[in-house]
Amino acid sequence: MLLRIGPGRSAEQLPSHSRFSTMTPPPSTSSTAAEAAVTGTPRPDDAPAGTTAPDGSTLPKKWSRIMIPFVRPSIEGGVWPIKRAVGETVDVRAGVVVDSHEALAVELVVTDPDGTSTVHLMTAEENDEFSGRFEVKHLGRYAYTVRAWLDRFATWQDQFRRRVAGGEPQEELKSELQAGVDIVRAAQKNASGADAKKLLADLEAFEAGDEDAALGEGIAARVRRNAPHDMMVESRTYEVIVDPEVARSGAWYEFFPRSTRDDGQHGTLDDAAERLEGIRDMGFDVVYLPPVHPIGIQHRKGKDNAPTAGPDDPGSPWAIGGPLEDGTMGGHKSVHPDLGGLDAFDRFVERADDLGLKVASRGAPGMVLPSAGREHPVCGEPAQEVPGRVSDQL
């Protein structure tokens, strides 16, 4: 089979009958990563016999006859993570091709936010595609990879089943059973626990000429789990960011706690908490706050974005990095004293939770924290810049 890699449309833009004829590698910081995304990468640590090129060969040091032209869902070939909400499923579809009629074993390896990996067998579909799915049960970032290898036993089992159905003589069938013995023996050597015991019994049945033992689904699964993964390749790693369900479909209400008093005085988070019930009754799901951190002093802006602030102007809440009540400097981990501090923030969140509301807070593009070295132009203190980006968090 000749696969032509060329510019143009991505695999997911092509009709199904031409999906493997023209492929564009996804954007990547290296040609190696792009190649891995399109063709799959042979495992460097367990390359089977026949996949390591001899010295002086023009072949790559590690190679395989299997290719993984695409994995879906993905964004820009896996450069960016996809998104799901808690409790949803990710339906994965991968194109896996090999230059023969041999059977393939294809698995979906999923790693959850805690680092625990699970393996899901993918099902063969039409047009050299395989499908699998997994559920995202926790907040955070999941990762998934598709891997494939030559399933020697499945290939042998299919051929043997055809010979049995075709009525071949018993002498021929016994000879074919012996060919299967070698594959099962290799798997039995790698197995442990219950699989090792069952594969040993399978070997004895094979050697006794038991045809039925060779055709079961159980033995196929045991051998697949334990046999050497010949010419195995892996796709690049794709990621899923899992958000709360309310992040997908909730109604958000934004307001400034300092503006919640009716008498013109500076409001606190306790004042803001008194308005939460009314916000809930209007049908909102999320209360969205601007930054509630201490505000810088020098170059503070005034009302209506005036370049000079008056003595009573609080400044822009996005200018993070200012004094606390005890005179120390506070940043992203502090709450402005005029808003009531961290204790008032905790009470605000507790009240929102009692009413079934979520609280979202907004960060700022960057901040500064006191440190030796140079003077901070906003706080007037020696500081070190901590780069960041605008982010919304529930």
Tell me the three state secondary structure of residue 202: helix
Confidence of residue 290 (pLDDT cuts 50, 70, 90): confident
Whether residues 267 and 374 fall in one domain? yes
Whether residues 102 and 239 fall in one domain? yes
Q: How far apart are CA 191 and CA 180, in angstroms?
A: 17
Say if residue 20's pLDDT is above 70.
Answer: no
Count Cβ atoms below 10 Å from residue 66 Cβ, excluding itself.
24
Q: What pLDDT, on the 0 to 100 scale, is given for residue 381?
A: 40
Q: What pLDDT, on the 0 to 100 scale, is given for residue 368?
A: 41
Q: What pLDDT, on the 0 to 100 scale, is given for residue 78?
A: 93
Q: For residue 137, which of 161, 164, 168, 116 has the smallest C-alpha distance?
A: 116
Burial class (CB in 10 A: 0-12, 13-18, 19+), 192: exposed
Confidence of residue 40 (pLDDT cuts 50, 70, 90): low
The CATH number of whichever domain residue 348 belongs to comes to: 3.20.20.80
Whether residues 239 and 298 fall in one domain? no
Angstrom distances, CA of residue 371 to CA of 335, 376, 384, 385: 20, 9, 5, 9
Whether residues 273 and 327 fall in one domain? yes
Tell me the three state secondary structure of residue 96: strand
Say if residue 6's pLDDT is above 60.
Answer: no
Angstrom distances, CA of residue 234 to CA of 36, 44, 64: 8, 11, 11
The CATH number of whichever domain residue 203 belongs to comes to: 1.20.58
pLDDT in tens, 60-96: 667 789 999 999 999 999 999 999 999 999 999 999 9
Whether residues 255 and 350 fall in one domain? yes
> Which domain covers residue 134, as residue numbers?
4-149+232-243
pTM above 0.85, yes or no: no
Q: Angle of helix 170-190 relative to helix 217-226, nearest 10 degrees?
A: 40
**Which residues are registered as beta bridge partners of 141?**
241
Whether residues 237 and 260 fall in one domain? no
Q: Compare 369 and 21 and report the one with higher pLDDT.
A: 369
Our count of domains for the chain comes to 3
